Amino acid sequence: MTSNDRWATLVVVSDATRRRLLWIAATDATFELDRERGVVEGKCIHCRRRLRLRRDGTPISRATVEHIVARTHGGTDELENLAIACSACNAGKGHRLDVRRPDDPKLLEVQATLQRRRRERWRDPPEDWDLPPRPRASDSSTA
């Protein structure tokens, strides 16, 4: 156990959110599965802070589902529109941008940057991850 593990916080999330987090991590090249420790570890799409999930998708750190194009702006739950962000970055983006009009230049700039990062980090899910069934975009998510 590292010193950071001592202060890890398990966040209660729904089964659908855990599945979604695992699939996002599986399609993000910054996330790696550490079988020995039973964790998946990668980086926040915004600040690149280290984030960890338990093997079942439960966030150990403050990992959240980030909608690159927010649902309030017509974004979907398709994996291509989802990333993992720390809660501080995700909340900050929401507070700053969710109230803006869909054609706002700053909003469009942030969305384009996050879409580019997601494409750069995209990979096919590793076959050895033993993932649960892929979440459908229509699955409800509280993240």
Query: Tell me: the pLDDT tens digits for 70-79?
Result: 999 999 999 9
Conformation bin of residue 25: beta by default, left when phi > 0, alpha when psi is -120 to 50? alpha
pLDDT at 106 over 90: yes
User: Which pTM value belongs to this model?
Assistant: 0.87
Q: For residue 11, name the pLDDT band (cuts at 50, 70, 90).
A: low
Closest CA to 63 of 76, 53, 71: 53
For residue 104, CA distances in Å to 20, 92, 111 come to: 29, 17, 11
pLDDT reported for residue 94: 87
SS (HEC) of 92-138: HHHHHHCCCCCCCHHHHHHHHHHHHHHHHHECCCCHHHCCCCCCCCC
What is the spatial distance between Cα 141 and Cα 16, in angstroms, rounded to a whole number? 6
Bridge partners, 33 (sequence order):
40
DSSP state of 59: B
pLDDT reported for residue 9: 59
